[in-house]
Amino acid sequence: MAVLSLGKTAACRPSRVRGFDYPQELLVDSHDVQSDLKHVLYTKEDIQRRVNELAAEIDSDYAGRDLLIVGVLKGAVMVMADLARALHSHVTMDWMAVSSYGSGTQSSGVVRILKDLETDLMGKHVLIVEDIIDSGLTLSWLKANLLSRGPASVEICTLLRKPEAAKVNIDVKYVGYNIPNEFVVGYGLDFAEKYRNLDFIGTLAPHVYE
């Protein structure tokens, strides 16, 4: 089993585990996070490659149409920025912040808008960009809210999705990886506002949040 240190990269070949797009696990070896993380799931290179693939699909699907991409703060900052740079079509960007997690590991199911969009959605093609979908409760509410504003279409792109954690059925057009129902951090994903800055995605050790 390969070992990955922060600031270094290691090959991580995807494999299929229990029906998920799960890579071969890499142990984390870092003085900063070694005691907090169990494994690295996706390296910086894995993520960038998949984001580029998603961007190519989006470019093809929205060819000839103006697209508004809506990032959901704070988790989607990394994937939103990388996805926008990988797109070759004309796009505009806006941000929305909603609250449903607090500092825990489970969604509360209560949604509150902290920052609304500045863009009028009437007649526009909208793509919501998310870092991760687990229960789907927050995103289901958000999509319904945006649809009520008169856009031409509203679709969803997420880097990660946890099928086993879903509590509502929601149509997600673009999915980077389906992952098991484990708590993950890095690349925008946090626990108590930490770990967002990691350039890879890893599983958080249970002793951190139990």
56-80: b (≥16 Cβ within 10 Å) or e: eebeeebeeeebbbbbbebbbbbbb
- Report residue 157 as tokens: 């792109």
Rounded CA separation 160/109 (Å): 19
SS3 139: helix
Q: Is-contact 173 156, C-beta < 8 A? A: yes
In whole angstroms, what is the distance from residue 206 CA to residue 209 CA? 6
Residue 110 · residue 55 · CB < 8 Å: no
- Whether 187 and 19 have beta carbons less than 8 Å apart is answered as no
The whole-angstrom separation of Cα 75 and Cα 78 is 7
Q: What is the DSSP string of 141-166?
A: HHHHHHHTT--SEEEEEEEEE-GGG-
Catalytic residue among 61, 134, 171, 199: 134
Per the annotation, the verdict on 134 as an active-site residue is yes
Which residues are designated catalytic?
134
